[in-house]
Structure 1
Amino acid sequence: MNLHTFSYGGGVQSTAALVLAAQGIIDFPVFLFANVGADSEDPATLDYLERYAKPYAALHGIQLHELHRQRRDSTTETLYGRLTKPGSRSLPIPVRMSNGAPGTRSCTADFKIRVVGRWLKAHGASADNPATVGIGISLDEIERVNNRRAMSYEQPTYPLLDHDPPLRRHDCERIIRSAGLPIPPKSACWFCPFHQPLVWAEMRRDRPELFNRACELESLLNVRRASLGKDPVYLTRFNAPLDRAISEAGPMLPGLGDDDIGCDNGACFT
């Protein structure tokens, strides 16, 4: 019998899938959370994982494993650590080049896909016996289905889309609330260049220390690039340093949110 696992990203869609699995509506007894680093994941996501997701999973007999990228010497490597390692020339995140084009990236492959894949293969998944891997994509982001290339040891499936009727984000929020859980924050690395401008602006308003760290990271990357005679890179598409490109967001109006912004299932657009 093949493995049935769900790729848990800590956001709305994958948390709704956790509830559905707890209710026996979908068959995924194992959820895998590839943590790219305690210094890299959004702190709000990690807080939700510890306060709500892990206890809820344990209460309902679901295994929720937190995975990390291991070096050959068995130490843990983080995405932020790779970016800031002294002397490193690595740019694994999709920074914007000075011409506005997105740069290449390896963060998803190295810190999520391969980390999950190593766990799957260690637990019996193979090309002859692929694991069934649930992906938390809802109907309002269905275009992302074709962007994910399957590995030989896995068979991706989309239980939120297979649900009758297919589930949208607001359905996922309803499912989470019905289980007595709060709605999780949007999941992504706090320095992710895929952040929409409003996400950056709200971070500057609500979490200025985290925003300043992102500015410092961008500056560090560009100091290194300048020493190599290379053009600067940016965390936004505006061809300017983050602290100049992003203004602080205004107060949130009642009833308005940013439901169409960000990455919730941890798949990082793959």
Structure 2
Amino acid sequence: MAERHVLGLSGGRDSAALAVHMAQAHPELELEYFFTDTGKELPEVYEYLGRLEGFVGKPIERLNPDRDFDFWLRQYNSFLPSPRTRWCTRQLKIRPFEQWLWPSLDAGDTVVSYVAIRSDESYREGYASTHPNLKVRLPFREVGIDKAAVIDILNASGLGLPRYYDWRSRSGCTFCFFQQKIEWVRLMERHPESFEEAKAYEKNAVDHGSPFTWSQGESLDELARPDRVAQIRADHDRRVARAASRRVVNPLRRDDDPIDMDELYGASKVCLTCHK
């Protein structure tokens, strides 16, 4: 029976850093890299995955679901996914992953899946294996790699951070419901076509009786009003100022290092398959 080693990439910094770490620390492993593509990712994600492929020297397997977001939206009667009903993660991320591996697992192979949960994320858990031959490992926890070390790994490799970190906190679909309101404003400015697509999905869902909007408590039409945008910006600036005033001086960190969204709004239990 064979033993396979797989590492899922989201287009985010943590999984990218794990790929770099494993390539450097464990060159003896024949790692298989994969990315479950929803078709609704930011262009910056695809660009970064291409650069990462060049670094590891291997292709990244694209696991495209056989049925796309639009198909599943119809199956769920046009109800949008939400933090309480994450059907997008189940159908567009976990399902393709299991379909890819299950024939090998059922044939008796052992599969080791490496997940990029850091040592400073004690509140997170990895994918719970539902097959006896699937083993999950958390290398960052095993060797004590935290967020600062992740950034160091990426900078030392020459990859740096994905470009969307200039304005967004995580990878994932353009219309991810875990975005903060300031991120919706920035999406509207940087990728207006994606913002308009999200508005169209939302309007269709509301017309079909969906109780959810992408952003909690208001529609994207409401969020996009100039007075509301100004309010969101002001609230975000206040949060940044408060967080900056609480920062402990660190001689190893530049004063202009950006403040993470998790620092500003609190860490959330986001979907790991999308955001790591």
Amino acid at match of 1:78: D
1:155 is matched with 135
- 1:172 equivalent in alignment to 2:150: yes
Aligned to 1:105: 86
Q: Which residue of 2 aligns with 1:119?
A: 100
Tell me what 1:99 maps to.
none
Q: Deviations over 1:67-112 (max 9, x none)?
A: 1112xxxxxx2224543x5x97143622xxxxxxx44232212221
Rounded to whole Å, the distance in 1 between the matches of 2:23 and 2:271 is 18
When structure 1 is superposed on structure 2, of 183-192 and 124-133 the one drifting more is 124-133
Number of corresponding residues: 239
Using structure 1 for the length normalisation, give the TM-score: 0.76
Distance between the aligned counterparts of 1:161 and 1:103, measured in 2?
Answer: 28
Which residue matches 2:273?
267
Distance change in 2, residues 1:212/1:79 (3 Å): same
TM-score norm. by structure 2 comes to 0.74
* 2:55 pairs with 1:56: yes
Residue aligning to 2:215: 236
**Counterpart position of 1:34:** 36
Show the counterpart of 1:144.
124
Structure 2 unmatched ranges of 5 or more: 165-169, 241-255
Contact 1:33 1:66 (C-alpha < 8 Å) held by counterparts: yes
Q: Are residue 69 (structure 1) and residue 65 (structure 2) matched?
A: yes
1:121-179 CA-to-partner distances (Å, cap 9, x unmatched) read 34x22385431111111123331216x3222142111111112xx11122111101101
CA contact (8 A) 1:12 1:265 kept: no
Q: Which amino acid in structure 2 is aligned with residue 64 of structure 1?
A: I
User: What letter matches 1:30 in structure 2?
Assistant: E
Q: Letter of the 2:88 partner, please give it.
A: C
- RMSD between aligned alpha carbons? 3.0
C-alpha distance in structure 2 between counterparts of 1:217 and 1:143, whole Å: 32
1:25-84 CA deviation, whole Å, 9 max, x = no partner? 4746111111112xx12222122212x1222222xxx442111112xxxxxx2224543x
CA contact (8 A) 1:137 1:265 kept: no
Q: Is the 8 A contact 1:2 1:131 kept in 2?
A: yes
Deviation at 1:256, TM superposition (A): 2.9
Contact 2:79 2:212 in 1 (8 A): no
Contact 1:8 1:266 in 2 (8 A): no
Structure 1 residues 211, 130: CA separation in 2 closer, same or farther (over 3 Å shift)? same
1:78 aligned onto 2:59: no
d(CA) in 1 for partners of 2:11, 2:275: 15
Residues 192-207 of structure 1 correspond to what in structure 2 (within 5 A)? 192-207=176-191
Residues in 2 aligned to 1:46 and 1:167: alpha-carbon distance in whole angstroms: 26
Aligned partners of 1:266, 1:81: CA distance in 2, in Å?
Answer: 23
Identify, as 1 or 2, the structure richer in helix. Answer: 2
